[in-house]
Amino acid sequence: MQVSRRGLLAGAAVGGGLLVAWSLLPRSFDNPLAPADNEIAVDAWLKIAADGVVTVAVPQLEMGQGVTTLLPQIVAMEMGADWRQVAVEPAPVSGAYANLPLAAEWAPLWQPLIRALADEPGDILLRNWAQDERFTVTARGTTLAAYEAACRDAGAAARSMLAQAAAERWDVPWEQCRAENGVIYHDGKAASFAELALEAARFDPPDPPPLKTAAPTDPAVLAGVDASDIAPAFPRLDLPSKVDGSHIFAGDVRLPGMVHAAIRHGPHDQAELLDFDASLARGQRGLIQLVRGKRWLAAVADNWWAAQQALEAIAPRFGSERPARSASISQQLESHLADGPGTVFEKRGNGIEGYVPNVARRYEISPGVHATIETTSATARLMDGTLELWLPTQAPEQARRAAAKALGMSVSKVVLYPVSAGGSFDRRLDNAAAIEVALLAREVGRPVQLTWSRWQEMVASYPRAPAAGLLAAQTDDEGNIAALRMRVASPPTMREFGNRLFDNQVSWAAIDGLEGESDRFATAGLAGPYGVANLSVEHVPVTIMLPTAPMRGQADGYNCFMRESFIDELAHEHEREPMSYRIAMLGGDPGMADVLQRAARLANWDGGRPGSGQGIACHRMQLGDAVGRIAVVAEAGAGEGGLRARRLFACVDIGRVVNRDIALQQIEGGLVFGLGMALGCSTDYAEGLPTHRRLSALAMPSLDDCPEIVIELVESVAPPFDPGEIGVPPVAPAVANAFASATGVRLRRLPLLSALP
């Protein structure tokens, strides 16, 4: 019998029978969505109340991306529910909500024993691992890929159960009933979901439940109308509470007897708390207790300000055996880029063998900070052997395990209540606060809320990796590329992150364990969409004393900058118009050629001639079968502060659009985030500490600095691609290319302002 990737049999038992590998069988779970009185639970995804309210479980962290609207919308559309009666409930941690596409994407990080059997969402080993590990991580824009099918099935199951209840009343075939706006209809008869809900519990849905013919798509897109001036068909469910201030974020949690904690961390990396003089805070009103960790000091008081002021007075002293320094990081990147050993992760044709580049450029990337408006906050209560946690986390099960390990208790004794995050950009993939607040709750013996100050957010957060890139090409006299070498030197960030997330390693152990090992994630997006016949993409690992972490846009965020800047330089060096130069290399991706041309029309592209202040860039991202394409034209030039972006025009193809309003919000947010990374959001490090202490020092665009943004969405029936990250990568190169056309000055370092004299 041939062993396939998607199904395994352990082998033949004695006598010819089959020996079933029980560990490979599908798991079953208790329903994590418990119904209340007068409610029925259809499955793990939704329940229906006798008043007609449909409650949908959301297992992903809401951090502004609209997931608490998107998944309920899919259920409502498939079910035929009235959107005004749809509610949302954060789902508890459960294997029922395993994020299989992300588990497959990150398989190199959790390192399955047989990787080829666990690198696609349908693989049994991967499914079992993700379910057993309760892997519900929110990252990489995998929400639709992971959960759309399950939400459609849940909606279809509920619709069929309600239809069966109505059909029994009317003595008609249930298949002839239809659901619309929260009502079941048949000829002239009608019954609301509220009337039928409790009766529906007596019926079982067909297996599989019958789906509607059409996949969920925004009605405005289906109608082919411009929805920019009309109310969205599915307005965000979280919007009213965010407007009136009732939405619960981490800092809003209040418990009886709760106290507040502030904290001071040591510098990066492997710092230790040396000493402090507690008497310096003796007069601080409200101070309750000081708690000493090996690498931090916390003050607990009846209010956060008192705790913070106590730490300011004490000024604890830390020592580090290997403090991060920007100068040494730059030297390491430079030396490794020049002659360090690397790994080629993508090769086309002969690669660079036999070719001698005649054009080469070097690019630099500084560490980038996440710069969330909401600083880290978490609340914990340890009572009767059970630890309760309230924190915004993109990796809830990993947070539970980290806290349990810190207290030496079973994970089953840790209860996590998810709360929304005020922005994340992948910052909430780190669970250090879960460990700290758990230890504080144990030491204080009362519920405690820990809040990091802005300075501590800068000190203790792990930045996006610094990098250096060398791009070299052999071209003919007309600029046609015969061979292209793309070499990037950077820490193996994602593998380092994987060691922390999955193995609960401390930062320096995660770094030391990867000495000299390359990371394929570091080359993400570098090759791009161009059909260069001979190409080599290489990562050179660099060990630095600065822990690093993923960030919105991933490595695509800076690899696109290097590639699109280099392509632009080649075009100008050979007097080729930048857009047509790109299109000439896109024979294998007509979709990208289309979005480039659409963006050019949108911006009245004039060819990027000298003095025009226009620049163009494009990028492609892929997750499974879903592909996202974007082209951006920027108008920029010299201005206050050295560089100012005036307008951004973007054409975006993200496949089928499920919610147009959210898609536009996320793309626009990604463009602004990309602009922030282009102009600032970076810091140097001196003796392990960031040189910038406040948001105001990061040169982020204010509302007044934000350019006019025009976005065109391409209509498509292709699988939907998440709109949250696609807007980030092309902004920096488009702005850099625009600045070069406006001033003749080519900027090859991010942030761009750091490259100005």
pLDDT at 25: 43
How many Cβ atoms are within 10 Å of 356's Cβ, its own excluded? 9
pLDDT at 641: 72
Q: How far apart are CA 318 and CA 307, in angstroms?
A: 19
Tokens 């790994």 locate to 343
Kindly report the CATH number assigned to the domain that includes residue 66: 3.30.365.10
Contact, 88 vs 163, CB < 8 A? no
Q: What is the pLDDT of residues 641-665, one digit of tens each?
A: 789 999 999 999 999 999 999 999 9
CA-nearest of 471, 474, 468 to 540 is 468
For the segment 102-125, the average pLDDT, to the nearest whole number, is: 83
As beta bridge partners, residue 711 has 650
Contact, 121 vs 100, CB < 8 A? yes
pLDDT at 8 over 60: no
Q: How far apart are CA 95 and CA 16, in angstroms?
A: 34
- Residue 334 counted as domain residue: no
- Residue 691 counted as domain residue: yes
Tokens 């592909």 locate to 627
- Residue 117 counted as domain residue: no
Structure tokens at 601: 């029309």
Instruction: Answer yes or no: do 603 and 709 share one domain.
Output: yes
pLDDT at 287 over 90: yes
For the segment 170-198, the average pLDDT, to the nearest whole number, is: 97
pLDDT at 151 over 50: yes
pLDDT at 20 over 80: no
Contact, 89 vs 78, CB < 8 A? no
Instruction: Answer yes or no: do 541 and 651 share one domain.
Output: yes
Structure tokens at 479: 């600029």
Share of the chain above pLDDT 70, in %: 95
Write the CA distances from 574 to 478, 480, 578, integer angstroms: 6, 9, 10
Q: Given pLDDT bands bounded at 50, 70 and 90, which one contains residue 222?
A: confident
* Window from 151-165, 211-225, 429-443 with minimum mean pLDDT: 211-225
Q: How far apart are CA 48 and CA 501, in angstroms?
A: 36
As beta bridge partners, residue 179 has 184
Residues 403/407/411/415 CA torsion (nearest 10 deg): -60
Q: What is the pLDDT of residues 443-501, one digit of tens each?
A: 999 999 999 999 999 999 999 999 999 999 999 999 999 999 999 999 999 999 999 99
Going 480 to 485 to 488 to 494, the CA torsion angle's sign is: positive
Helix segments in 445-555, DSSP class H: 454-460, 493-503, 507-512
Instruction: Answer yes or no: do 182 and 287 share one domain.
Output: no
- Residue 118 counted as domain residue: no
Question: What domain range is 636 assigned to?
Answer: 340-368+464-755
pLDDT at 642: 85
* Residue 554 CB contacts under 8 Å (≥ 6 apart), including other chains: 140, 521, 524, 525, 725
Region of 173 please: left (phi>0), alpha (psi -120 to 50) or beta: beta
pLDDT at 229: 67
Q: Report the domain count for the chain.
A: 3
pLDDT at 221: 81
Q: In degrees rounded to 5, what are phi and psi of residue 143?
A: -55, -50
Instruction: Answer yes or no: do 364 and 406 share one domain.
Output: no
Average pLDDT, the chain: 93
DSSP string computed for 418-469: E-B-S--TTGGG--HHHHHHHHHHHHHSS-EEEE--HHHHHHHSPPBPPEEE
Contact, 260 vs 301, CB < 8 A? yes
DSSP 8-state class, residue 466:
P
Share of the chain above pLDDT 90, in %: 89
Helix H, strand E, coil C: the string for 614-636 is: EEEEEEEEEECCEEEEEEEEEEE
Q: How far apart are CA 728 and CA 712, in angstroms?
A: 16
Instruction: Answer yes or no: do 558 and 672 share one domain.
Output: yes
Instruction: Answer yes or no: do 301 and 205 share one domain.
Output: no
- Residue 439 counted as domain residue: yes
Contact, 528 vs 563, CB < 8 A? yes
- Residue 15 counted as domain residue: no
Instruction: Answer yes or no: do 660 and 637 share one domain.
Output: yes
As beta bridge partners, residue 121 has none
Structure tokens at 720: 């939907």
Q: Given pLDDT bands bounded at 50, 70 and 90, which one contains residue 14?
A: very low
* Residue 692 CB contacts under 8 Å (≥ 6 apart), including other chains: 369, 458, 683, 684, 698
Last residue of a domain, one of 421, 451, 481: 451
Last residue of a domain, one of 416, 451, 486: 451
pLDDT at 24: 39
Instruction: Answer yes or no: do 385 and 507 share one domain.
Output: no
- Residue 8 counted as domain residue: no
Instruction: Answer yes or no: do 424 and 510 share one domain.
Output: no
Instruction: Answer yes or no: do 75 and 215 share one domain.
Output: yes
For the segment 196-205, the average pLDDT, to the nearest whole number, is: 97
Instruction: Answer yes or no: do 551 and 508 share one domain.
Output: yes
Write the CA distances from 419 to 252, 409, 601, integer angstroms: 9, 23, 43
Write the CA distances from 122 to 5, 119, 130, integer angstroms: 9, 9, 11
Q: How far apart are CA 475 and CA 209, in angstroms?
A: 57
pLDDT at 113: 65
Q: In degrees rounded to 5, what are phi and psi of residue 195?
A: -65, -30
Tokens 């100005």 locate to 756
Instruction: Answer yes or no: do 430 and 475 share one domain.
Output: no
Structure tokens at 119: 């690198």
* Residue 531 CB contacts under 8 Å (≥ 6 apart), including other chains: 585, 586, 587, 588, 589
Residues 420/424/428/433 CA torsion (nearest 10 deg): -80
Q: Given pLDDT bands bounded at 50, 70 and 90, which one contains residue 704?
A: confident
For the segment 160-187, the average pLDDT, to the nearest whole number, is: 98
CA-nearest of 471, 395, 470 to 434 is 395
pLDDT at 424 over 90: yes
Tokens 């992760």 locate to 345
Last residue of a domain, one of 410, 426, 451: 451
- The strand ranges marked E within 511-613 are 534-541
pLDDT at 26 over 60: no
Q: How far apart are CA 52 and CA 72, in angstroms?
A: 15
- Residue 234 counted as domain residue: no
